[in-house]
Amino acid sequence: MMVSPDYLQGMKKLSARTTPLKAVAFLLTIGSLVGITSMPATAEGTNDWQIDVVVIDTECNLPDTPATWDPDMTVNWTDDNEVDLYNLGWDFTAEFDVFLDIQQGHDNCGENVTIDPVGIFELNFIPGDDSPLEMSSSHCGGGCNADDNYFMGGSMVYGTIDASDATEVGTFSGTFRVVWIP
């Protein structure tokens, strides 16, 4: 590409005649095209930011495991569960016990704190239909307070069944019920 000497000479004339005022005007024009300006920026409006704060709890909040029981389903007879009609005048009872297997609860936050059983045990006997059986006595080892029973009585409950109203031979039934009321 060839540039004419007249063009080059015209360029020389422009650059030779450039004054400081023209240079400043040129820079301001170029600066405004690229976003640089010496004037302060002004804007109106509103900005909103959502602020999220996470609140945590490092304290252990697990519920404690309360004391429990797992009663043995076997009734243990002191001698046996037979009453002889021939001997009803002096030998008309059968004694038994049941193991309740009471276990302490614990603190689930790892503090090795045990939780004692609370409440009471109620003992009842419900004779079956046409059954001559009655419970003449019952008691809890250490008392029927769950805590006392656990610590003093080894989780045992006892009962005595009275068969003195029996008039015939046969197997008679009833239900021994233990209710734990916390």
What pLDDT sits at residue 25? 63
The answer to whether 121 touches 179, Cβ cutoff 8 Å, is yes
Main-chain dihedrals φ then ψ at residue 34, nearest 5 degrees: -100, 5
What pLDDT sits at residue 147? 93
- Domains for the chain: give ranges and CATH numbers: 68-181 (2.60.40)
Residue 158 CA to residue 178 CA, distance in Å, equals 11
pLDDT along the chain (182 residues), means of 10: 54 55 63 56 83 87 89 94 86 94 89 89 95 95 89 88 93 96 92
What pLDDT sits at residue 132? 96
What pLDDT sits at residue 26? 64
What pLDDT sits at residue 35? 55
